[in-house]
A = this chain, B = another copy of it.
Amino acid sequence: MMHTEPGVFGAISHPARRRMLDLLVDGDRPVNAIAENFEMSRPAVSQHLRVLLDAGLVTEQRHGRERRYRLVPERLEPVRDWIAHYERFWDDNFARLRRHLEKSTEQ
């Protein structure tokens, strides 16, 4: 019944869509440039891009007959925010650094 709009977490649940976002980190790209990285048909790529678009994770720029897709990284914030409250469980460099910062700025 899926009455909860898929949203960002749904959008990033598919590995192909995560890879598409990863590609767009290096800059805007037209669909064909994206599609050549995948085995699936080009329409399938279009459909994945649509999911990303609906989630607000990318925008479309029309340039002549091309459509360039652009990453909207801020939209990943819900993911970062959610994962952030698990960070205390990883005792790695990041956690140590953050604690270090908290200390060094609390003065």
> Which residues of A pack against B, CB within 8 Å?
4, 6, 9-10, 12-15, 18, 22, 25, 73-74, 76-77, 79-80, 82-83, 85-87, 89-90, 93-94, 97-98, 100-101
A-B contact pairs, 12 of them (CB 8 A): A6-B13, A13-B13, A25-B85, A73-B89, A73-B90, A74-B89, A76-B83, A80-B87, A80-B90, A93-B101, A94-B98, A97-B97
A83 with B80: in contact, given A4-B15, A97-B97, A98-B97 (CB under 8 Å)? yes
Minimum C-beta distance from A85 to chain B (A): 7
Copies of the polypeptide in the assembly? 2
Known contacts being A18-B9, A79-B79, is A97 close to B87, with CB within 8 Å?
A: no
Most B Cβ at <10 Å: residue of A6, A22, A86, A93: A86
> What residues on B are CB-neighbors of A10 within 8 Å?
13
B85 x A79 contact (CB < 8 A): no
Smallest Cβ distance from A35 to chain B, in angstroms?
18
Known: A73-B86, A74-B90. 13 other contacts (CB 8 A): A6-B13, A9-B12, A10-B13, A25-B85, A25-B86, A74-B89, A76-B89, A80-B83, A80-B87, A83-B83, A93-B101, A94-B98, A97-B101
